[in-house]
Amino acid sequence: MGTLRVISNSSQTFSSRMEAGDLLARQLKELQDQNVVVLGIPRGGVVVAREIAHALQADLDMVLAHKLGAPGNPELAIGAVCEDGQLFVDEEISSYMGVDDDYIKREKSRQLQELARRVKRYRSVLPKIPLAGRVAIVTDDGVATGATLQAALWAVRQENPKKIVTALPVGPQDSLEKLSQDADETICLQAPPFFSAISQFYSYFNQVEDEELLEILQEESKRRSEQVKG
């Protein structure tokens, strides 16, 4: 189990994902110049990741993972699947919801189809960066159950990075403790005592559409090209 550092138990709201990313970058400044790549979970997590990457002068990339939704409640994550087909199932939640293996197989197949679309579209703009030997910072705009992020951490670990750091603006304490088992270090700005949804901790929490994400990826692709030329 890695270390967990919670900065505060405040319920204060962030003005936007960009502010959250900037505040996280200040907590991660000691990692600058340590061969860092910042990995955001699309779509909102990539907005946060961009701010961290720019502040640390690090590379920006994504971890593609989808949560598996519960029967009749698709917003409740019972697990997650990554682009390489890895599956994570939260046994406690899936048992409580009475989910059987057949449902999980169907939901995994459905989510993999959507991931295939994302891989084709996103990776054509920004190719994946190899993570071996690098410090990988994995981020999102927050976590609730943490299932999607946990699957992302498992996928990142398979690539043999030097170190995995999970960096989050907000999340419940129990989810953070669980996630810390799959990272070398976990940092969260806020773990409020009462948590219902990530959106309650943002003044502006818009839906990040594909067009906005593609603009970020194109910007990073240009940034990479300029670094090579430099």
Burial class (CB in 10 A: 0-12, 13-18, 19+), 221: middle
pLDDT exceeds cutoff 70 at 88: yes
Q: Residue 76 has what pLDDT?
A: 77
Q: Does the residue 117 lie in any domain?
A: no
Query: Residue 196's domain spans which residues?
Result: 3-65+130-229
Q: Indicate yes or no: pTM above 0.85.
A: yes
Q: What is the DSSP string of 75-122?
A: EEEEEEEETT--EEE-HHHHHHTT--HHHHHHHHHHHHHHHHHHHHHH
Q: Does the residue 118 lie in any domain?
A: no
Q: Does the residue 95 lie in any domain?
A: no
Closest CA to 66 of 79, 84, 81, 78: 81
Residues 6+ away with beta carbon under 8 Å from 149: 41, 65, 138, 140, 143, 166, 168, 179
Q: Residue 129 has what pLDDT?
A: 92
Q: For the chain, how many structural domains are there in total?
A: 1
Burial class (CB in 10 A: 0-12, 13-18, 19+), 44: buried
Torsion-angle region of 146 (φ positive above 0: left; ψ -120 to 50: alpha; else: beta): left
pLDDT exceeds cutoff 80 at 135: yes
The per-residue pLDDT for range 190-201, each reduced to its tens digit, is: 999 999 999 999
Query: What is the CB-side half-sphere exposure of residue 186 using CA atoms within 13 A?
Result: 29
Average pLDDT over residues 5-25: 97
Q: Does the residue 37 lie in any domain?
A: yes
**Any idea which of 55-59, 145-149, 163-167 has the lowest mean pLDDT?**
145-149
What gap in Å lies between CA 146 and CA 188, rounded to an integer? 13
**How confident is residue 119, by pLDDT bands cut at 50, 70 and 90?**
confident
Q: Residue 93 has what pLDDT?
A: 81
Higher per-residue confidence, 144 vs 138: 138
- Written as one letter, the residue type at 212 is E
Q: Does the residue 88 lie in any domain?
A: no
Q: Does the residue 99 lie in any domain?
A: no
What gap in Å lies between CA 62 and CA 136, rounded to an integer? 11
The per-residue pLDDT for range 38-49, each reduced to its tens digit, is: 999 999 999 999
Q: Does the residue 81 lie in any domain?
A: no
Q: Residue 164 has what pLDDT?
A: 98
Q: Does the residue 93 lie in any domain?
A: no
pLDDT exceeds cutoff 80 at 112: yes
Dihedral (Cα; 92, 11, 7, 34), 10-degree rounding? 80
Q: In which residue are the tokens 């019972």 written?
A: 78
**Any idea which of 1-5, 44-48, 75-79, 160-164 has the lowest mean pLDDT?**
75-79
Looking up residue 165, the CATH number of its domain turns out to be: 3.40.50.2020
Higher per-residue confidence, 118 vs 53: 53
